Amino acid sequence: MSVPGEPPGQWEGVSRPLPELPEDVDDVFPDGAGATITPYRDGPLIVRGEFRLLDQDGGEIDPGRRTIALCRCGKSGLKPFCDGSHKRSGFSAPSTPSRPRPAQIVREGLGEA
C-alpha cells in the first residue's frame, strides 16, 4: 500500500486507525437489517446482506453485489476483495477465534455473558 506524500513502503504492515463513523451510522439500516460476516476456515470473510463498504477515508466502495468475499490473507490482487490467492499462498486461519477477546473475558468475569 502506498500513501501519497510518503516514501514507498513507509506504511507497509502498519495498522492505521479506522476513520470515524458518521453520526448517522445507526440510520444506515433503519429497519434492523444488516450484514452477516462469516470467516471461512483458511479463506476469506464472506459478507452477506445489506452493508456499506468504505475505504479508510470514508469513500464508498461499490461491492457490485449483496454477497462478497473480503481478503484475509493479504495476497489478493483485488483488495479488499478475495481473488482466491489464499489457496496458492497456503494461508491458514481458523473459522472461530483461537481464544476469547479481552472484553469477553472481562464480561464473563463480571457474570454478564
pLDDT at position 46: 96
Q: Which pTM value belongs to this model?
A: 0.62
CATH class, 25-90 region: alpha beta
Question: Residue 69: how many CB atoms within 10 A of its CB?
Answer: 20
User: Long-range contacts for 30-36 (Cβ within 8 Å, ≥24 apart)?
Assistant: none
1, pLDDT greater than 50: no
Report CA-CA distances (Å) from 62 to 39, 78, 80, 90, 107.
21, 13, 11, 29, 37
C-alpha cell at 99: 481464544
| pLDDT tens readout for residues 84-110 | 999 999 999 999 988 877 776 666 776
Q: SS3 string of 18-38? A: CCCCCCCHHHCCCCCCCEEEE
Q: Which residue has 470514508 as its cell numbers? A: 58
Above pLDDT 90, what percent of the chain? 54
Confidence tier at 62 by pLDDT (50, 70, 90)? very high
Report CA-CA distances (Å) from 98 to 90, 101, 105.
19, 9, 13
